[in-house]
């Protein structure tokens, strides 16, 4: 199992750094405009391959660079050639495919025939997992919240003024119950009180406001709870793995 962690953690770190930290808005726009042949795409795939190769430190395993670079070119090129690359479903598909490639590469590299570089045996597993969770909460977590929230547009005429946000109440309830369950399991009962207080503050006086302000309150509440839930679950998973 230790051999799997030695490969999986660096590959996941490399993916997060490549997809969520190294890309600027300008690069993303150029990739979408030029699609497969974009110069920004070339830069992106070179960064993806180089980062994965450097992070794993398996200097004899050149396939890390080539498989990572090629998979980014194929997956990102496919997504950017779609009609609406910003579509949330394409984001989930894109990331799922990348994770699938990482899992396959990890299984390949943990074959007994692979000779491990001494650097890989350094005892940094715990710090690597913590760093992975921290980076995930910072940037991928932000993108995930944005993609979920994109189903609502407060300025859209598709939502009538006398209506609430579609499914907002249901999502709020799911997030609340998830957080309360986690806090009960962890015996953090004070956090439950904080959650109730925070919701009460956001909800206070919303009945006296107009419908647009009520929708804005629900929007903020969903985003806050979603962000809170994502960070809590990530921390819980990191703690469990450690």
Beta-carbon contacts of 124 under 8 Å, excluding residues fewer than 6 positions away, are none
Nearest to 32 by CA among 81, 100, 87: 81
Measure the CA–CA gap between 128 and 150, rounded to whole angstroms.
32
Domain boundaries, the chain: 2-121, 168-241
Task: Check: CB of residue 121 under 8 Å from CB of residue 62.
Answer: no
Residue 86 pLDDT > 70: yes
pLDDT tens digits, residue range 160-195? 444 556 666 667 777 777 777 777 767 777 777 777
How far is residue 14 from each of residues 55, 59, 80, 177, measured CA to CA in Å? 7, 15, 21, 33
If pLDDT is split at 50, 70 and 90, which confidence band does 18 have?
A: very high
pLDDT at 17: 92
């Amino acid at each position: 199992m230790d051999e799997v962690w030695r490969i999986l953690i660096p590959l996941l770190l490399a993916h997060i750094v490549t997809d969520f930290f190294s890309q600027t808005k300008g690069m993303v726009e150029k990739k979408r405009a030029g699609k497969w042949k974009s110069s920004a795409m070339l830069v992106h795939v070179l960064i993806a391959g180089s980062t994965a190769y450097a992070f794993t430190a398996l200097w004899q395993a050149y396939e890390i660079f080539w498989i990572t670079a090629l998979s980014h070119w194929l997956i990102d090129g496919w997504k950017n050639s779609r009609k609406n690359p910003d579509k949330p479903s394409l984001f989930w598909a894109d990331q799922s495919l990348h994770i699938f490639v990482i899992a396959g590469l990890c299984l390949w590299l943990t074959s007994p025939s692979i000779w491990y570089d001494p650097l890989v045996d350094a005892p940094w597993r715990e710090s690597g997992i913590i760093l992975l969770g921290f980076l995930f909460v910072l940037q991928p977590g932000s993108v995930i919240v944005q993609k979920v929230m994109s189903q609502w547009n407060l300025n859209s005429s598709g939502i009538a003024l006398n209506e609430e946000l579609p499914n907002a109440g249901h999502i709020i309830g799911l997030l609340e119950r998830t957080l309360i369950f986690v806090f009960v399991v962890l015996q953090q009962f004070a956090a439950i009180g904080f959650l109730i207080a925070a919701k009460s503050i956001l909800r206070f006086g919303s009945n006296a406001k107009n419908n647009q302000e009520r929708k804005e309150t629900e929007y903020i509440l969903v985003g806050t709870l979603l962000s809170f839930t994502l960070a809590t679950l990530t921390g819980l998973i990191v703690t469990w793995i450690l």
